[in-house]
Amino acid sequence: MLKLLLLSILQSLCLASGQLCLKQALVKAGAFSWSINYFIAQLTNWWFLLTGITLGSATVLWMYILRHYPLSAAYPLTCLSYVFGMILGMIFLQETIPYTRWIGVVFILVGAFFIIK
C-alpha cells in the first residue's frame, strides 16, 4: 500500500500542477474573441503546453494505478489533489486560505490515512 500512496501523491501533484498551469494559461490568454488571431496566439501560450504535459502525466500514472491496484483503494486517494491544489494556489497565486479549508484538509488527510490502512 505504500507504493500506492506514493504513486497517488505523485499523480495528485501532477493533477494539481496541471490545474495551476491551466489557471495561468487562461490568465495569459486575455479576453476571448472568435478571431483567428486569438486562436493563433493561444498556440504560443506555453502554459497550455505545460497543462497538457502535467495532465497527460497524471493520466498515464492513473492508468498504471488502475491497472495494478483496486479501484476502491485508488480512487479515494485522488482527494489528495485537492490538498495539493490548495497549497499550490496559496504558494504560487498568493491566495488566502481560510481556517475552515484547513480543517477540511485535515479531514481529507485523515480519510486518506484510513484508506491506506
CA distance 15 to 30: 24
CA distance 103 to 115: 19
What pTM was estimated for this model as a whole? 0.88
CA distance 109 to 9: 12
Tally of domains within the chain:
1
CA distance 41 to 60: 28
Render pLDDT for 100-110 as a digit per residue (tens, 0 to 9). 999 999 999 99
Domain that holds residue 37: 2-116
pLDDT score recorded for residue 2: 87
Q: Judge whether residue 21 has pLDDT over 90.
A: yes
11 pLDDT band (50/70/90 cuts)?
A: very high
pLDDT score recorded for residue 102: 96
Q: Are 79 and 114 contacting, i.e. CB atoms less than 8 angstroms apart?
A: no
Residue 16, phi-psi category: left (phi > 0), alpha (psi -120 to 50), beta (remainder): alpha
